[in-house]
Structure 1
Amino acid sequence: MDEFRGKVISNDDLVQFRQQLARYEDHQLETFYKYFREDLLYIIESLDTQSILRELNFRNLISPEYYQSIKKQCGASAFAEMLLEDIHTSGRDAVLGFWESLYVLQNEHPHPNLLGALDELIETGAVLEQTITLDRNGPDLPADLKACRLQHKQNLLKKTENLVEHRAPGLTTESQSFSITERYLDLIVVSSQHFRSRPQHELIATGGIHEHYLQRAQSNLERISPNRLFRWCHRKRCVPQAVLVSGVPGVGKTTLMQKFVYDWANGNLYQRFAFVFFFKFRDLNKEELSLAQMIINEYPYLHSQLEGIFQNPAQLLFIFDGLDESKDQIDLEQEQLCTNPCSIQTVSVIVSSLVRQSLLPGCSVLITSRPTRLATVETSIFNRISEIMGFFPKEREKYFLHFFKDYTMAEKAFHYVRENGMLYTFCYIPSYCWIICTVLSMCFRAQRANSAQTVEFLPKTVTQLYASFLSNILANHCQAVSIDKNFLISIGRMAEYGVNSRILSFTKKDLAVYSVDASSHLATSFVMESGQPPHVSYSFLHLTIQEFMAALGHYLDYSPEGLQKALEEAKSKEDGRGEIFLRFISGLSDSSTRSLLKPYVGDLSAPAAKHVICFLQKSITTLQNPDNRKVLNVFACLAESRNKALVSSSIGSNKQFQFSEFYLAPLDCTVLAFILESCRETELLDLGTCFIQTEGLERISAALHTVRDLRLTNNNLRDEDVPCLYSILTHLQCRIQKFSLRNNGLTETSCLPMALAVSENTSLRDLDLSKNKLAGDDFYQLLEVLSAPTCRIERLALQEAKLTPEYTESFLSLTNNPNLVSLNISSNFFGNAGYPHIQKLILEHPSLREIKVGMNDFSEETERNLLQLQRRRPEVAIHL
């Protein structure tokens, strides 16, 4: 990507950089080391290890073999920690040589974090030490403002020191509070420059790219830790004053802001800001007010000091959380701006004026929002734009451990979810992790209470998960009062109104319109109340709960016209807003899923289920020249319905699935696995260039043995993925006849397990291993299996496999394979030395009918000799 490209470093540049480094004193280098330490660790982990060690070795700083063994034995993180610490303790020359090595590496490896750190050091080096000191100690303030700041920090510490966890229905009777230092887990924040209208629901879209980001993390993903949000931005060539942080609902935007404010108040982050003001858009009412009044409403004790506080805008940071939940339409491009903090204006004008620096010029602003809201907002006025990606796998596992507190139970829960692609997809979202942990804890308790209960009790689809979550809420309330079905219908209608209108925050008026009594005990299990009277707002615990209740409403109160309208509207939304709603409404068509709620609300509408099934069937049959995303959306609904008979009857004889050059997320792979299992026999599945990584392959592997022609071309599959491929090929019912692994990342390490797979498989006839680096000792073992008299392989491709002349003699053993008719060994490095053996192979192989041997560094004479062999064996087509 262009924005990640570094400059081409010349010798003059290097000399100039070296001179700049030489000017720093030892204490300055030590200050910079501490400041950049986290960045440097991430950079070392992300860059090519061989390249880093080569540069350091060139400067006589380290022994490459030692650190290679460290990485192999202890992993990338331990390697980075040890290397950096050793450089740090080796003295001034080592530190200077290390920075110089990184400077040279940007030519070959323009990783954005590397570019950012070097750029910050070069561009701000003259004042960097002062900046670091200011961030550590804060500005000098008059005595009255010092006392005021201390009071403000103490107030913010009380507000932010604890994380409040929602009630877990059936487990606790009230919300639980935990120290933020104890429960906070790092969220992945990455740079992001584009907020387009997304063709998918934002939770699905982000979940889909999550593992893709994980793969990219080692190449060109810029990671933004909280202490870098207001540091030098190499893209914009400035220290940012306006920063935007986006993230899907529940991913942790508010929690990240809470931790940010807590760390500032505790003296550990950005002390350059004398005062930080934290607001939630949902709590800012529609009435016009001034910035001064806005601050006083939230922090009344600052009243007498505001004039002094406003004197130094550069020392102020304003945080506005939840742009998408604003009651006002915030227009950051509006022409009307204000300059006076005491001027009465709308919230929109005040926020826009702060961001655009007409109000308190020099101040800093941090805003959070959902990505979908930002598709219609002018974001170019922000100096830094970033997106919270939520949890990566290690953090997900930690969350489960924190929730269950029992290692065995946490491992059991996480393993179950990790093995279930449907449930695992959204686990990057902390609030979703809370929902699934809550449900699984209930299931485990029920299993302990009834030892006869089996694992079948656990949810298998996302719809079952939410049905279980709701049943736990209702079971908890059933102990006190009977369930009011009309309340559930009302809250379902309000939820659907919110889904259709992009509303997450509801007013008292909204509740009144839909006859939802917010004071009822049951209501508090679904919605959270925020703000102070008279400006109180309500929101569902999570967007997905809102979408589930919207779907459930149609099964509680079935109207053929209403349901049909809802289905059509959800299907027609181009931004994917209706996708999860459709998946929930499809999932509830499954009788076993509906049965989870029967004890509390009675039978859910069977006619509604039939209506949805007919809709799904029609959706498949009316897909004319569809794009792959629409196909997968329908397939996802079918997977939630768990209706294999519907899949088989609807797809019919169309057993060819072409997804070539279409990005398949792990969830898509899970969905496809269900479709393939339902079809049982598929003629062709083309997954070439679908960016399938390890997790995606694991998700779909259970059904790949049912495919006759399987293409996994150009997916960057690695040696560690071969055990999965082995399990596919050795499945007892494997029917794969044609299998392409062309252009992946396989090496000689893959040869032995592939050899075992081929020897055990009875269906395979066509194998393409081209464009993989197979050369090595283990390749001979693969060739031995392919040469066996019992081998059934008829067509074999080993084009561009990095094979050299010494391998050509072994190819003669292929004459023992009586079934081989086509062999492609072109684009290797055989040269003239390999010609005698290739000649003998062509002349002596009894069944061979076609051989491709071009692009093998042959001389013109050797090529003529090869073509002349055609006369001696006219039945063999020789291609150069």
Structure 2
Amino acid sequence: MKYHLVAVVKVLDEHKISLRRRCERVTEGSDETGSRTLLNRIYTELYITEGQSEEVHSQHEVRQLETASKMDALHDTPIRCQDIFKALPDQQRPIRVVLTNGVAGVGKTFSVQKFTLDWAEGLENQHVSVVVLLSFRELNLIREEQYSLLELLHVFHPTLQKVTAEKLAVSQLLFIFDGLDESRLSLDFTNRKLLSDVTQKSSVSQLLTNLIQGNLLPSALVWITSRPAAANQIPPTCVDRLTEVRGFTDAQKEEYFRRRFSDEELSSRIISHMKTSRSLHIMCRIPVFCWITATVLEHMLTTEQRGELPKTLTDMYSHFLLVQTKRKKNKYHEGHETSPQELTEADREVLLKLGRLAFEHLEKGNIMFYQEDLEQCGLDVTEASVYSGVCTEIFKRECVIFQKPVYCFVHLSIQEFLAAVYMFHCFTNRKSEVKNGRLDLFVRFLHGLCLEFNQRLLGGLLGQTENSPETIQRVIKNLKERKTKSSPDRSINIFHCLMEMNDILLSQEIQEFLKSENKSKKLSEIHCSALAFMLQMSEEVLDELDLKKQTDPREFITIFKGCCWTQTGNIILTCCHLDLESQTLKR
């Protein structure tokens, strides 16, 4: 018996060592750049809450960030990632299954790695005997095969080869399934085969549904992470706790930049610039966007490159693409500086193929790609691995289980940007109409690329374009006159498209309207959208706005409801509320 216990302890120690090696270093960008960093050196605490934002599925994730940025302090119950299985004082039943939502790049995987690392180092959650970390991008590779749960553990965690079915039955296991939004499994919780034996073979989908429902290892804990749009694959009846990763608070954003740069002056300048742009400041709730911002601004502030720092998303992503292509070309050309216009035809072809991949799979909702996906877009696997010396921190390759490669863009927004670049390159007449919520950021990028400045930045990729100032003004005019009665979110996104095109006239008109004593001016639909959004984002408080004097106050109310959270007929907005009966916005 004593020998058996020693053997078990040795196995668990080896497993902890394996997990520690896997989680102690992380990468921002591509694994292939050798930029892996100790997690505990750069990890900034994330804002995680009990519960979930309302109406998240109807909005693009960027809109969710914009909405949530003004709502954090109202109803949230903050929670540490290490405490997600610990019941609150008023919660009676134990927590077995936790579902954690969060937009792309907001820090879900970092939270999983931090939780796992703290467990492996003996710091937190030591009541758990074994943590089993699995990602859906790896599980996709065996979705057509048959395994038992015990075999699944042995395959994905070879350090657990000696763990038997009997040992599993008396151990407190925690299964972490990371990235449900990347899953290509079919999780059917209704027409499933009942499984209760960990040695019984079945499909991977059946194993997961039975484990989540408690048929397999009913005492095992389960943690699932997902982007919001995919979370509904798990029935609410199976979930004991719902949490949401909100990313960085304002203070945590600043901490991120100060921890990243030892040069205090540099970090202060980056933080200062971030605060000058509302759209950039909101996006910096996402850690990955903080990395993009840091990469671009560090390059611009520490090299000979001069010019105005980017203030719009399109401008920021255009510079990011140029910084990455320049860095990689310098790496492969003995350090000589090259201009953006010096992209070779082969480089341009690879980038446009990546753009095609980005666009076609954006329509399908896919963010993970396999060899067959690349080949369908004309990308040779070897070509994708080398990238002709460019894009290694834009499009990355990971070797997972069985050494099979999986590909993805570093962040969903980069996929959306390259999709817009590809679409702009192919259809400069813009006859294609793509206006549903899932493509909102893509549409913003598409309009931002109309600007001559952004076209000049990406001239080496886009080639010669024919957009004259008259064309730009025609696009702006069409945007302002567009009718979007069916969806308030479309009106809000039109306002964002105008901002990406540096059209500040609308914003100035609204500011003049708010300052004016005479509020009898008739507002168009796009004016209502701009007013609703600006009131939502404003740091100032408006004492009262009488909507009865407007042409159609109900139109404004409809749009306002589209960009805010609703509760029992009233709209909660910081310290304001909208009275639907009197049609007045009051403090």
Find the partner of 2:48 among 165, 189, 203: 189
Find the partner of 2:494 among 621, 634, 648: 634
Partner of 2:394: 526
Match status 1:472 vs 2:307: no
Partner of 2:423: 554
Kept in 2: contact 1:688–1:714 (CA 8 A)? no
Partner of 2:463: 603
Q: Which runs of 5+ in 2 are unaligned?
A: 334-342, 510-520, 540-549, 565-571, 577-583
Find the partner of 1:378 among 232, 235, 240: 235
Change (3 A) 1:509 1:189: same
Kept in 1: contact 2:488–2:558 (CA 8 A)? no
1:558 & 1:240 partners in 2: Cα distance?
Answer: 52
Q: Alpha-carbon deviation of 1:473?
A: 1.5
Q: Which sits farther off after the overlay, 656-665 or 435-444?
A: 656-665
Give the root-mean-square deviation of aligned CA atoms.
Answer: 3.6
2:29 & 2:167 partners in 1: Cα distance?
Answer: 36
Q: Alpha-carbon deviation of 1:619?
A: 4.2
Partner of 2:352: 489
1:609 & 1:292 partners in 2: Cα distance?
Answer: 65
Q: Which runs of 5+ in 1 are unaligned?
A: 1-140, 671-681, 697-712, 718-740, 745-880
Q: Any residues of structure 2 matched to 1:695-714 within 5 Å, and which?
A: none
Flag the structure with more relative contact order, 1 or 2, with Cα contacts below 8 A and sequence separation at least 6.
Answer: 2
Q: Which sits farther off after the overlay, 329-338 or 360-369?
A: 329-338
Q: Deviations over 1:378-428 (max 9, x none)?
A: 233110010000100111001111222211111110111111112111111
What is the percent sequence identity of the aligned residues?
Answer: 26
Kept in 1: contact 2:484–2:491 (CA 8 A)? no
1:478 & 1:666 partners in 2: Cα distance?
Answer: 45
Q: Alpha-carbon deviation of 1:526?
A: 2.1
2:246 match: secondary structure: strand
Q: Deviations over 1:24-49 (max 9, x none)?
A: xxxxxxxxxxxxxxxxxxxxxxxxxx
The total of aligned residue pairs comes to 526
2:197 & 2:246 partners in 1: Cα distance?
Answer: 37
1:714 & 1:336 partners in 2: Cα distance?
Answer: 47
Change (3 A) 1:335 1:275: same
Q: Alpha-carbon deviation of 1:537?
A: 1.4
Partner of 2:579: none
Change (3 A) 1:195 1:148: farther
Q: Alpha-carbon deviation of 1:225?
A: 1.3
Kept in 2: contact 1:192–1:385 (CA 8 A)? yes
Change (3 A) 1:371 1:613: farther
Partner of 2:115: 260
Q: Any residues of structure 2 matched to 1:214-229 within 5 Å, and which?
A: 215-216=73-74, 220-229=75-84
- The aligned amino acid for 1:577 is R
Kept in 1: contact 2:324–2:391 (CA 8 A)? no
Change (3 A) 1:602 1:355: closer
Kept in 2: contact 1:190–1:224 (CA 8 A)? yes
Partner of 1:580: 441
Q: Deviations over 1:254-301 (max 9, x none)?
A: 110000000111111111111111011101122322222221122213
Greater gyration radius:
1
Change (3 A) 1:148 1:666: farther
1:556 & 1:410 partners in 2: Cα distance?
Answer: 36
2:71 match: secondary structure: helix
2:315 & 2:214 partners in 1: Cα distance?
Answer: 50
Q: Any residues of structure 2 matched to 1:54-73 within 5 Å, and which?
A: none
Q: Which sits farther off after the overlay, 589-598 or 332-341?
A: 332-341
2:213 & 2:585 partners in 1: Cα distance?
Answer: 52
Find the partner of 1:543 among 412, 415, 426: 412
1:555 & 1:608 partners in 2: Cα distance?
Answer: 15
1:489 match: secondary structure: helix
Change (3 A) 1:663 1:344: farther
1:388 match: secondary structure: strand
1:577 & 1:627 partners in 2: Cα distance?
Answer: 13
Kept in 2: contact 1:247–1:388 (CA 8 A)? yes
Q: Any residues of structure 2 matched to 1:758-773 within 5 Å, and which?
A: none
- The aligned amino acid for 1:554 is M
1:267 & 1:614 partners in 2: Cα distance?
Answer: 63
Change (3 A) 1:616 1:654: farther
Find the partner of 2:69 among 201, 210, 235: 210
Change (3 A) 1:602 1:507: closer
Partner of 1:869: none
Find the partner of 2:182 among 303, 310, 325: 325
- The aligned amino acid for 2:321 is L
Partner of 2:517: none
2:289 match: secondary structure: helix
Q: Any residues of structure 2 matched to 1:329-344 within 5 Å, and which?
A: 329-344=186-201
TM-score (norm 2): 0.81
Q: Any residues of structure 2 matched to 1:144-163 within 5 Å, and which?
A: 144-163=7-26
Q: Deviations over 1:498-523 (max 9, x none)?
A: 21111010111000011123222335
- The aligned amino acid for 1:345 is S
1:207 & 1:594 partners in 2: Cα distance?
Answer: 27
Q: Deviations over 1:773-825 (max 9, x none)?
A: xxxxxxxxxxxxxxxxxxxxxxxxxxxxxxxxxxxxxxxxxxxxxxxxxxxxx
Kept in 2: contact 1:233–1:384 (CA 8 A)? no
Change (3 A) 1:614 1:669: farther
Q: Any residues of structure 2 matched to 1:60-139 within 5 Å, and which?
A: none
TM-score (norm 1): 0.55
Partner of 1:405: 262
Kept in 2: contact 1:292–1:342 (CA 8 A)? yes
- The aligned amino acid for 1:537 is V
Match status 1:352 vs 2:203: no
Kept in 1: contact 2:65–2:282 (CA 8 A)? no
Q: Any residues of structure 2 matched to 1:607-626 within 5 Å, and which?
A: 607=467, 614=474, 617-623=477-483, 625=485
Q: Deviations over 1:36-95 (max 9, x none)?
A: xxxxxxxxxxxxxxxxxxxxxxxxxxxxxxxxxxxxxxxxxxxxxxxxxxxxxxxxxxxx
Q: Any residues of structure 2 matched to 1:492-531 within 5 Å, and which?
A: 492-516=355-379, 517-521=383-387, 522-530=390-398, 531=400
Change (3 A) 1:375 1:287: closer
Q: Deviations over 1:129-184 (max 9, x none)?
A: xxxxxxxxxxxx9332122111111111121122223269xxxx923232222211
Q: Alpha-carbon deviation of 1:578?
A: 0.8
Partner of 1:564: 431
Partner of 1:738: none
Q: Alpha-carbon deviation of 1:601?
A: 2.7
Kept in 2: contact 1:661–1:689 (CA 8 A)? no
Kept in 1: contact 2:532–2:556 (CA 8 A)? no
2:504 & 2:55 partners in 1: Cα distance?
Answer: 36
